[in-house]
Amino acid sequence: MITPVIMAGGSGTRLWPMSRTAFPKQFLALGKQLTMLQQTTARLDGLHSGKPVVITNEEHRFLVAEQMRQQSLEGDILLEPVGRNTAPAIALAAFQLLKNNPNNVPVMLVLASDHIIQNTEAFQQSVLTLLPDVEAGNFGTLGIVPTEPATGYGYIKRASSDVVADVEQFVEKPDAVTAKTYLENDYLWNSGMFMIRADRYLEELKEYRPDIYQACEKAMMDTSQDLDFTRVNKEAFEACPDESIDYAVMEPLSVTGNVVVTPLNAGWSDVGSWSALWEIGEKCADGNVLLGKDVHQHAILKDTRDSFIFSENRLITTLGVENLVVVDTPDAILIADKDKVQNVKEIVAEIKKQGRTEHYSHREVYRPWGKYDSIDNGERYQVKRITVKPGAKLSVQMHHHRAEHWIVVSGTASVTNGDNTYLVTENESTYIPIGQVHALENPGVIPLEMIEVQSGSYLGEDDIVRLKDKYGRA
């Protein structure tokens, strides 16, 4: 049985300002109906695979759960206490799968949650092509058929041009001259997608990296269930070395002839930059790519060529430019030469240096109960638009430094204000004094929309004292 193991714990900034630490690219739709995580799970339809194991972290756990819920998708969500790279993460999944499937050893299909694959049929066929060899005990990988002598990927040297071939060598990211040589000699890009029997992975991990094996085994011997999530022993996992599956297992095992590869030509991209989205995007006559909800209503381009425009809100206009990337978000705009977007991390570093917050979160922030949008702020006040999902409830809490006014725009709010609990409906309001214990719940069947006006000497999110919380955050 094929079981997807999906890595969803990254917090990369290469697609800033859309991708941010609190809401990284795997949770973005980027102009599509589905997010990248949802696209990853959707392309498994038809493979008759088992319930996925999704590996993420504490900060992103509710994003994973909500996006899986939107797809009516069941599966295990494993929480890493700290990031320790792919080798330990896959080990956690392998231990979990063997525990849950004692009579049927699953084949793990290890996938990143933030890749684009345009041809689902070709992807599924490559997976099925590898399956017999993997079921027999070999380690399998999907090697991408290169489209250019890229220097940003590792490469795979295969022993033959057979549909399934032994991996002769995994090689590091090359320089430009070496990359051109690799293309001439039928090398493949290393996609980071693997197929491995759960038991075989742990056998080889124990052989080559017993320190990782032992730390993960110990972490999985003390798990706890928290809502939709499985927590592992934090102390044991923190002691685990940081290592990728490539270095820990795949490279040393390849010399034994037990690693096989099949080529994948399916419009793959790891979406490593905005220019990558331009490369795979649908281009107009002038070579421009426009992405975003109703973006064609938000962009007027004149004498503009070979550029990438992303907008979901404001009107974007360009005149007499070429080779640009323009990305518009409510609180930040990126304008860059398309050939320089790999260096967006320098912008992010400067934002951090200045003590700003645009690297970490968007103006619109998601919570397990819904979301809020900080629409205005000034000295001693802040205004938020709050959306609470049906049946959801914010934590029972209080604030030391601020009072709050709540105005219901639509729906019905159940408000706990000190010792009193009452309903507030459309066009009604209520006031929460400083220091008052309070809570907010949506008892209805439609989203609750309200405006919150905060006033006080300090308005930071860390002035929330949670006393009780249905989501385990107290």
Kindly state whether residue 358 falls inside one of the protein's structural domains: no
Assigned token pair, 164: 């399934």
Residues 27 and 160 in one domain: yes
Residues 22 and 163 in one domain: yes
Residues 311 and 452 in one domain: no
Residues 247 and 318 in one domain: no
Whole-angstrom distance, CA of residue 234 vs CA of residue 219: 7
Whole-angstrom distance, CA of residue 191 vs CA of residue 142: 6
Residues 377 and 320 in one domain: no
Assigned token pair, 301: 């381009």
CA atoms within 13 A on the CB side of 472: 12
Q: What angle do CA 313, 314, 317 make, to 5 degrees?
A: 135
Residues 193 and 317 in one domain: no
Kindly state whether residue 359 falls inside one of the protein's structural domains: no
For position 8, which CATH number holds?
3.90.550.10
Kindly state whether residue 473 falls inside one of the protein's structural domains: no
Residues 251 and 130 in one domain: yes
Last residue of a domain, one of 222, 252, 269: 269
Residues 370 and 462 in one domain: yes
Do residues 204 and 253 make contact, with C-beta atoms less than 8 angstroms apart? yes
Write out the H or E segment, with its range, that includes residue 382.
strand 381-388
Query: Which residue range is the domain that position 292 belongs to?
Result: 274-353
Does the pTM surpass 0.95? The reply is no
Rg (CA), the chain: 25
Kindly state whether residue 130 falls inside one of the protein's structural domains: yes
Kindly state whether residue 229 falls inside one of the protein's structural domains: yes
For position 373, which CATH number holds?
2.60.120.10
Residue type, 140: G
Kindly state whether residue 325 falls inside one of the protein's structural domains: yes
Kindly state whether residue 474 falls inside one of the protein's structural domains: no
Residues 279 and 235 in one domain: no
Q: Is 364 helix (H, G, I), strand (E, B) or coil?
A: strand
**Omega within 30 of 0 (cis) for the link into 330:** no
Q: Where are the beta strands (DSSP E) in 216-314?
A: 224-226, 229-231, 259-264, 268-269, 289-291, 299-305, 308-310
Residues 170 and 29 in one domain: yes
Kindly state whether residue 260 falls inside one of the protein's structural domains: yes
Last residue of a domain, one of 353, 381, 397: 353
Per-residue pLDDT of the chain (474 residues; tens, 9 = 90+): 899 999 998 877 889 999 999 999 999 998 788 999 999 999 999 998 999 999 999 999 999 999 999 999 999 999 999 999 999 999 999 999 999 988 889 999 999 999 999 999 999 999 999 999 999 999 999 999 999 999 989 999 999 999 999 999 999 999 999 999 999 999 999 999 999 999 999 999 999 999 999 999 999 999 999 888 999 999 999 999 999 999 999 999 998 889 999 999 999 999 989 999 999 999 999 999 999 877 777 789 999 999 999 988 889 999 999 999 999 999 999 999 999 999 999 999 999 999 999 999 999 999 999 999 999 999 999 999 999 999 999 999 999 999 999 999 999 999 999 999 999 999 999 999 999 999 999 999 999 999 999 999 999 989 999 999 999 886
Residues 340 and 218 in one domain: no
Q: Please name which of 389, 353, 384, 383 lies closest in space to residue 369, comparing C-alpha atoms.
A: 389
Q: How many domains does the chain have?
A: 3
Last residue of a domain, one of 209, 241, 269: 269
Residues 62 and 184 in one domain: yes
Whole-angstrom distance, CA of residue 204 vs CA of residue 11: 29
